[in-house]
Structure 1
Amino acid sequence: MNSVNANFSQNISIVHPQYFFIIGLTGISNSTYYYIFLFITYFITVIGNSIVLLIIALHRSLHSPKYFGVFNLALADIGETNALIPNMMKNFLFDSQYITFNACLANMFFVFFFSSLQSVTLVVLAYDRFIAICLPLRYHAIVNNSSMVLIFSAIWAFNSSVVVLMVVSISRLSFCESNVIQSYFCDHGPMFRMACNDKSINNIMAFLISALYIVVPLIIIVLSYLGIFLALSKITTWQGRLKALKTCVSHLLLVGIYFLPICCSYIAALLVSLSPNARVISTSLAYAVPPMLNPIIYVLNTAEIKDIIRKVVKKRSAPIRENISK
């Protein structure tokens, strides 16, 4: 009976503020230029990834396992960008830094869900390249559209469960001292650190999220490429090696663009005492820039997509040339 009363009193003591105040970019000098950069980034990201989605969806020649992964990555890029940048622009345009408690939890869910989806999708694309180069004769038996649907269905379900647990761990905290978030979105770390009750579960969740979506994917991708390079070394001709390696160029660029900024910001935070403004800028760039560059890389480095774009441009430009000639 005493334990029940203790639990009841503990639940009563939990304080959820009506609003949080996000002040991540307010103290940065000349922040107007940074907001302009973010707006340009948002525009390019949405347009570029939407084009990739439409091209893959409308052309049956691209309905293959590899492009199923690319489609998922473009979807994750758009989702993460829409979860981050419009809210930041709202703070700048309308000088509105507050966000309701429930909206803050929703913002946290979508940012972390789509970011984790990006990370795991890069692992799946590495798996696709590994099977294609190391086991070419068995590729179509192992990697097909049905297996990709199962893989990504499992990924969406697993990521949703992990991120929901993280959000629930925030909802059990009591914010009785501060409701000011030192970040540019409802970030898990800055939020749980300002709570005034037990935060041990949140520390575990922070470690789990970092391990699951940064450390483990990076290790798997590195190991897969070690296997790929080993398989390439067994190819006798340089032309054969280069032809196989070219199929990996786009993915390697995507991996570098996604993981390098995140790893650099984490390492800088560990080795150097970054100011809050420097941390906000470095992490916001790490989240905002990769989704903008991903569709550009795939369009420039993928022959199939470039050929489709050329055909569409020729079809659209042909009537214009005919009218001019008349």
Structure 2
Amino acid sequence: MGNHTGHEDFVLLGFLIGRKAEILLAVVLLAVYLLTLLGNMSVLIIIITTTRLHTPMYFFLANLSVLDFAFSTVTVPSFLRNLFSDAKTISFAGCMAQSYFYFFLSTVEYFLLTCMSYDRYVAICNPLRYPSIMNSHVCVQIVLFCWLGGFCSVLYPTIIITRLSYCKSNIIDHFFCDSEPLLKLSCTDTRLIQLVTFGLSSVVILCSLALTVISYAYIVSAILRIPTGTGRKKAFNTCAAHLTLFLMSTAVSILLYVIPSEKSSLGARKTPALLSSIVNPFLSPFIYTLRNDLFKGILGEICGRGAVMAQKLLMNHM
């Protein structure tokens, strides 16, 4: 693990809001986290088991559900444990692993959301060529690129961070092992790794934003050329959910990792990071299902079948 010295464990300060407020926050977070798992796993199961949803858009959405499930699980259970207990420690290895998977999954999600914008561009601007361009082989390659790209881009900075010496303190002013407050504890010169992490974050976030804006510029142009209002509404609805989620994620990430840290205190980073860790994964399945007529129809069919089965069981027991 390199030459880290001085401490075997780190202490995560969290929000420092008092014991009663911590318990209240923990209860709310636990409820939201369970709903996040339920929502994303439900979307994943419905997509896998419904033949009508075996299309490129829903293939990407299934991967997004896996990402949201994993992303919230990286930070929230650890934070909940710290809120419910007096011990707020995390091991060095656990801290490094949490930091790596947080940024790894974040990067994969940006790559995936960018590729989903290209998928919507092809579907709306080149509908006749869509089946040949976005075939199953291409979709699998795109998803593999997203996962491998995220893995490789975050690996080098994490290796460097694990080899730093942490001798100033073992107290991290955050609720998880974010890179910036972690580097503040190092007695090694961190200017190079700060430059590398800032550069990588900026390239990933801003390039994803630029490519998505370009895709949606073509999409909006194509939608405006659709002669009927119903057609324009249907085309817009297929894109609105993706664009909403992308802009939410981008706004928080730019605030956290693109704006230089000197312009914002470490304490100011906690609330946006909490929103990124729990609120976005929680809202994601609801944004997609509520904005998608096909998905809402399938959910209605499932609920209808469930109601019929429940009625039959009730009748059999009477």
Same fold (TM over 0.5): yes
Structure 1: stretches of 5+ with no match in the other structure: 1-10
C-alpha deviation, 1:262, in angstroms:
3.5
Contact 2:26 2:84 in 1 (8 A): no
Deviates most, 19-28 or 266-275: 266-275
C-alpha RMSD of the superposition: 2.5
Does 2:152 align with 1:196?
Answer: no
Match of 1:25 among 6, 11, 15: 15
| Aligned residue number for residue 78 of structure 1 | 69
Query: TM-score, normalization: structure 1?
Result: 0.88
Match of 2:49 among 46, 50, 58: 58
- AA in 2 matched with 1:21: V
| Aligned residue number for residue 318 of structure 1 | 308
Contact 1:23 1:97 in 2 (8 A): yes
C-alpha deviation, 1:17, in angstroms:
2.5
Q: 1:218 to 1:293 in 2, by over 3 A?
A: same
- Paired residues for 1:150-165 under 5 Å: 150-165=141-156
- Paired residues for 1:1-326 under 5 Å: 15=5, 17-27=7-17, 30-264=21-255, 273-274=264-265, 276=267, 278-322=268-312
The count of aligned residue pairs is 315
SS in 2 for 1:196: coil
SS in 2 for 1:316: helix
CA deviation map 1:47-81 (0-9, x unaligned): 00010010111112211111111011100100011
C-alpha deviation, 1:140, in angstroms:
1.0
Contact 1:268 1:274 in 2 (8 A): no
SS in 1 for 2:128: helix
Deviates most, 243-252 or 22-31: 22-31
- AA in 1 matched with 2:148: A
CA deviation map 1:168-205 (0-9, x unaligned): 01012111211211111111111122211121331123
Structure 2: stretches of 5+ with no match in the other structure: none
CA deviation map 1:14-61 (0-9, x unaligned): 526211111122356833332222112201110000100101111122
Q: 1:241 to 1:302 in 2, by over 3 A?
A: closer
Query: TM-score, normalization: structure 2?
Result: 0.90
- AA in 2 matched with 1:283: A
CA deviation map 1:111-166 (0-9, x unaligned): 11122222222111111111111111211111122111111111111111122212
Q: 1:141 to 1:132 in 2, by over 3 A?
A: same
Contact 2:96 2:158 in 1 (8 A): yes
- AA in 2 matched with 1:218: L
- AA in 2 matched with 1:317: A
Contact 1:169 1:201 in 2 (8 A): no
| Aligned residue number for residue 4 of structure 1 | none
Distance of 2:290 and 2:279 partners within structure 1: 17
- AA in 2 matched with 1:20: F
Q: 1:267 to 1:92 in 2, by over 3 A?
A: same
Distance of 2:27 and 2:10 partners within structure 1: 25
CA deviation map 1:264-305 (0-9, x unaligned): 5668987965472x4312321232101000011122122222
Distance of 2:260 and 2:86 partners within structure 1: 29
Contact 2:3 2:165 in 1 (8 A): yes
Distance of 1:58 and 1:76 partners within structure 2: 19
Distance of 2:58 and 2:136 partners within structure 1: 10
Instruction: Percent identity, please.
Output: 30
Deviates most, 50-59 or 254-263: 254-263
SS in 1 for 2:10: strand
Deviates most, 233-242 or 86-95: 233-242
Q: 1:146 to 1:315 in 2, by over 3 A?
A: same
- AA in 2 matched with 1:220: L
